[in-house]
């Protein structure tokens, strides 16, 4: 029988895995092994549904096989992309406020990451418009870096037996051959989308993943 705390934690994880989102942070998604494991889903690369920062039943997540990249975990692509967006926006807000540090924590993980910012001497005399141009570019690049670093840290945690859901180990998926590439791909795609404007992130991500 689960203790009250464990039961509550498991319920929250299951709700997030089902697509429920808490706050503005990206929602949790369950990845797949690139093997014939129970629960693994294989999809046609041309039929991956609609990307959704929030829950959408039209989003298809699983493994696709590509001639140039081998196995790609679309779940990891979407996770890294959404965290790139979230962290880019967070960084932009901090830069525009001249904050010198901020922190964040990826959902379901115990680690808190701290980011310290050093500004050039001329930063305070720039016009707001010029600051926005610089901050937008810098925040997207930093969002990509932080998202990829954080998803890599997740692989390290699970390598050392960190468990997201109750007693179920994730060691078999730690640094599996498709994860790091899929995370990097997601961060790069999101960066491309954000640099070209963010009028509709979900729509542009859907098109970019398809491309």
pLDDT value, residue 4: 44
**Residue 77 phi, psi (nearest 5):** -60, -45
**pLDDT over 60 (residue 17):** no
pLDDT value, residue 162: 78
Write out pLDDT tens, residues 181-194. Answer: 999 999 999 999 99
**pLDDT over 50 (residue 145):** yes
Mean pLDDT of 37-51: 86
**Residue 70 phi, psi (nearest 5):** 70, -145
Please report, for residues 85, 114, 128, 132, 178, the alpha-carbon distance to residue 98 in angstroms, rounded to integers and kept in the order given.
Answer: 20, 16, 12, 12, 38
The string of DSSP codes covering 61-82 is -SEEEETTTEEEEHHHHHHHHH
Nearest to 153 by CA among 145, 97, 45: 145
| 143 or 56, higher pLDDT | 143
Cα separation, 57 vs 197, in Å, equals: 25
Output the average pLDDT for the chain.
85
pLDDT value, residue 155: 86
**Residue 180 phi, psi (nearest 5):** -60, -40
pLDDT value, residue 23: 64
**pLDDT over 90 (residue 121):** yes
**pLDDT over 70 (residue 22):** no
Long-range contacts formed by 137-140: CB under 8 A, 24+ apart: 137/195, 138/91, 138/95, 139/88, 139/89, 139/91, 139/92, 139/95, 140/84, 140/88, 140/191, 140/194, 140/195
Cα separation, 50 vs 138, in Å, equals: 28
pLDDT value, residue 120: 93
- Which helix (H) or strand (E) is 145 found in, with range? helix 128-159
| 135 or 169, higher pLDDT | 135
Write out pLDDT tens, residues 49-86. Answer: 999 998 778 888 889 998 888 889 999 999 999 999 99
Query: pLDDT-derived band of residue 5, with 50, 70 and 90 as boundaries?
Result: very low
Longest dimension (CA), the chain: 62
Query: pLDDT-derived band of residue 178, with 50, 70 and 90 as boundaries?
Result: confident
**Residue 207 phi, psi (nearest 5):** -70, -40
């Amino acid at each position: 029988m689960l203790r009250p705390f464990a039961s509550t934690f498991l319920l929250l994880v299951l709700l997030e895995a089902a697509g429920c989102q808490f706050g503005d942070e990206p929602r949790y998604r369950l990845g797949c092994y690139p093997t014939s494991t129970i629960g693994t889903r294989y999809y046609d690369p041309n039929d991956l549904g609609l990307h959704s920062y929030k829950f959408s039943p039209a989003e298809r997540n699983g493994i696709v096989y590509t001639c140039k990249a081998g196995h790609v975990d679309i779940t990891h692509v979407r996770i890294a992309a959404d965290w790139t967006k979230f962290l880019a926006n967070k960084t932009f807000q901090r830069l525009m406020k001249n904050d010198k540090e901020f922190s964040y924590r990826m959902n379901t993980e115990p680690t808190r990451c701290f980011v310290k910012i050093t500004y050039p001497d001329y930063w305070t005399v720039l016009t707001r418009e010029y600051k926005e141009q610089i901050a937008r570019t810098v925040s997207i690049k930093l969002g990509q870096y932080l998202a990829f670093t954080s998803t890599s840290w997740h692989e390290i945690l699970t390598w050392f037996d960190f468990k997201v859901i109750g007693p179920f180990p994730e060691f078999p998926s730690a640094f599996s051959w498709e994860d790091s590439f899929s995370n990097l791909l997601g961060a790069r795609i999101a960066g491309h989308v954000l640099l070209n404007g963010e009028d509709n992130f979900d729509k542009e991500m859907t098109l970019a993943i398809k491309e």
